[in-house]
Amino acid sequence: MTPTSRLVYDERLTAPRAWWAIAVLFGLSPALIFLPYGTVAALVTLSIGTCLAGMYVSAQGSARIRGTGDTLFVMDARIPLTALGQPEVLDGEEARAWRTYKADLRAFMVVRSFITTAVVVEVLDPDDPTPYVYFATRTPDRLAEAIGARA
């Protein structure tokens, strides 16, 4: 393994535990509606409703950010660190501003509503029309350090 392929940052943007409880409650509500048709109908509806809600919650937690010494992998994107400027850590209100009224439609953004901190980095590549990248992250300082530490 070369020094630049060594993993320096890894985070999965998983959904909060409360969302899984809500998924079960979501499955329970149609089951209660089908309860007058029998226990089997209620159990089938409970299973289907909970599975559908669970699939949604799982999809929300499928985003992954990984960084090596020379490349940042965000979901399906591969971004060379040489194409990125200095990262800026965003907390609370500033992160919300960057994902709402300050947002540029050309930007590459990984947004999760349940994560309130983020990192924004300017794209330096003149051939790339993307002005910046925005990543929601629970550990913005670690991600900024991984982006800023070039091999």
Beta strands in 49-112 (DSSP E): 64-68, 71-74, 77-80, 84-90, 108-110
- Identity of the amino acid at 34: F
For the segment 67-105, what is each residue's pLDDT rounded down to a tens digit?
888 888 988 889 888 888 899 999 989 999 998 899 889
Domain coordinates in residue numbering, the chain: 82-148
Supply the Cα-derived Rg of the chain in whole angstroms. 20
Distance of CA 57 to the CA centre of its chain: 12
Map tokens 């289907």 to a residue: 48
Helix pair angle (39-60, 17-34), 10° resolution: 150
Q: Which tokens is 133 given? A: 């990248």
Say if pTM beats, i.e. exceeds, 0.85.
no
- Residue 9 φ/ψ region, left for φ over 0, alpha for ψ in the -120 to 50 degree band, beta for the rest: beta
For the segment 112-145, what is each residue's pLDDT rounded down to a tens digit?
888 899 999 999 988 889 999 999 999 999 998 8
55 band by pLDDT with thresholds 50, 70 and 90: very high
Map tokens 């300050």 to a residue: 102
